[in-house]
Amino acid sequence: MSDTAVTPSTETFDQFGLAPEILKAIQEQGYTTPTPIQAQAIPVVLTGRDVMGAAQTGTGKTASFSLPIIQRLLPLASTSASPARHPVRALILTPTRELADQVANNVRTYAQHTALRSSVVFGGVDMNPQSDELRRGVEILIATPGRLLDHVQQKTTNLGQVQMLVLDEADRMLDMGFLPDLQRILNLLPKERQTLLFSATFSGEIKKLAATYLRTPQTIEVARSNSTATNVTQVVYEVAEGDKTGAVVQLIRERSLKQVIVFCNSKIGASRLARQIEKQGIVAAAIHGDRSQNERMQALDAFKRGEIEALVATDVAARGLDIAELPAVINFDLPFNAEDYVHRIGRTGRAGASGDALSLCSPSERKQLADIEKLIKRPLTVERLVVDTPVAHHEGGSRRRERDGRGDGHEGREGRGERVGHRRPGAYERPHHHRQSQPVDDFFLKPYEPSPSARSAAEEKPAPAASQKQKQPLAALLGGLGSAWRNKPTSSSSS
């Protein structure tokens, strides 16, 4: 069973009883007042109880579990250089590499004035530097499931002393894409541990599954389940499938958006859309599961610096990424999974700021729109968008979309698939300028005709004599027809 927390809101971080080292780090970040999820979750996590926390994206869920974890581990902190004094005591699992890196940066910031060590491991990069850091010992480990199991197999880390487990974006961690890896990891952990689940969405099935991993958890919901932030304006535009690219360009220009994330359902579609809108003069880059990790991180960093106007992404960017003051997101494709819509639009309107969530809906996506409205329990504003200047498609329309499939909604085990749009590190998706083809001589297009001399020679060639000796079959030359063929009398002998 679980009960719902009713802890009253706390005005300052001082009232949690956090150590001076942690409060100093919080103050240096300019944080003074905890968010509702932090106010309710931090006291409960400090007691050591299991927690299932649900809150809208952008409300500070990372701090709600990382701050009490650091506080609980402080008595075990050691300045010794011995790796044995720094075993993994807290494990934080995330579904994507980008989210793992972001959580690790937050943990590192909050623990900077303590002796606790933290590290992050995820796929797509060299394992050796990660292995060296793990061998030196870390108390707090942030990881994606696939790369963590790689390190376990290489015996570079041991999970036998883990006291706290966190599943960030727990609904994705508990879906079928991650469940086998997650079960293997849970089998390596001590049974006596504290387990924390945090996400913006929890379906009924996920709640039932989560109950098997938690012990009398306390459910903390600071907003209605699966709800969206009230400070995000949501608009759906009805457009034809072939006008979607032009609609994206038109929305970016009409609204003067200098920073926007455009979500696609497929990897190929994301790469193609980035190329097409760049041809319209908008600086864009694509990130998805088939791009190398260095390319993904460099594109994301360039986007945060304002060097890229449109970041075209699959749902690899829908979970947990924190872009300060992002004005808008655009759903080029409505997601197949309605919960992903909540996470996508949660990239804007973070930390109390306002934002716009703009979605394009073709006639074939009306069922997906109905599923989204059913999930968030309210209708969305639907408007008709007239695309003034449609963008020509040069890379195949419906046939290519059929080949795209459902893309990489699941990034588990680091996203396999057709490799598309790879560049060297630091190179973004720029438009291709094909060389102009050279004129072709008509001579090479004509069918073959023999020359007059060849025809006359063929006519003068004598026909083979009728009495010419019959050739033996190939099998006879290889000795494969046996004595019956060898003893057969020839025509000359019979005569």
Last residue within a domain, chosen from 188, 221, 254:
221
> What pLDDT band is residue 46 in, cutting at 50, 70 and 90?
very high
Q: Could you tell me if 164 and 268 lie in one domain?
A: no
Q: Could you tell me if 237 and 129 lie in one domain?
A: no
Q: Could you tell me if 169 and 29 lie in one domain?
A: yes
The CATH number covering residue 382 comes to 3.40.50.300
> What pLDDT band is residue 450 in, cutting at 50, 70 and 90?
low
Coil vs helix vs strand at 257: coil
Q: Are 53 and 198 in contact (CB under 8 A)?
A: yes
Q: Could you tell me if 181 and 60 lie in one domain?
A: yes
Query: For residue range 56-82, what is the model confidence (pLDDT) as tens digits?
Result: 666 788 999 999 999 999 999 999 999
Q: Could you tell me if 126 and 242 lie in one domain?
A: no
Query: For residue range 265-323, what is the model confidence (pLDDT) as tens digits?
Result: 999 999 999 999 999 999 999 988 788 878 888 888 899 888 999 999 988 766 656 67
Q: Which domain does 131 fall in, by range?
A: 3-221
Query: For residue range 137-182, what is the model confidence (pLDDT) as tens digits?
Result: 999 999 999 999 999 999 999 999 999 999 998 877 777 578 889 9
Last residue within a domain, chosen from 193, 221, 249:
221
Range from 201-205, 220-224, 477-481 carrying the lowest mean pLDDT: 477-481
Q: Could you tell me if 205 and 275 lie in one domain?
A: no
88 inside domain: yes
**Distance between CA 111 and CA 101 in Å, rounded?**
15
387 inside domain: yes
420 inside domain: no
Better pLDDT: 66 or 338: 66
236 inside domain: yes
Last residue within a domain, chosen from 187, 221, 255:
221
For residue 262, what are its two tokens? Answer: 């455009």
Q: Could you tell me if 344 and 312 lie in one domain?
A: yes
Better pLDDT: 457 or 397: 457
Q: Could you tell me if 317 and 278 lie in one domain?
A: yes
Q: Are 88 and 65 in contact (CB under 8 A)?
A: no
Q: Are 151 and 128 in contact (CB under 8 A)?
A: no
207 inside domain: yes
Q: Could you tell me if 200 and 249 lie in one domain?
A: no
> What pLDDT band is residue 475 in, cutting at 50, 70 and 90?
low
Q: Could you tell me if 339 and 410 lie in one domain?
A: yes
Q: Could you tell me if 372 and 318 lie in one domain?
A: yes
Q: Could you tell me if 40 and 127 lie in one domain?
A: yes
| Cβ-Cβ contacts under 8 Å for 39 (sequence gap 6 or more) | 7, 8, 9, 10
Amino acid 437: pLDDT = 44
- DSSP letter for each residue of 435-493: PPPPP--GGGGSPP---HHHHHHHHHSPPPPTTSPPPPPHHHHTT-SHHHHHTSPPHHH
Rg (CA), the chain: 32
**Distance between CA 114 and CA 18 in Å, rounded?**
12
Query: For residue range 67-120, what is the model confidence (pLDDT) as tens digits?
Result: 999 999 999 999 999 999 999 999 999 988 888 988 999 999 999 999 999 999
Question: Which regions of 271-350 does DSSP assign to beta strands (E)?
Answer: 284-287, 310-313, 328-331
Average pLDDT (254-274) is 92
**Distance between CA 248 and CA 266 in Å, rounded?**
16
For the chain, the maximum distance between any two Cα atoms, rounded to a whole number of angstroms, is: 121
Number of domains in the chain: 2
Check: pTM over 0.85? Answer yes or no.
no
How many residues in total does the chain contain?
495
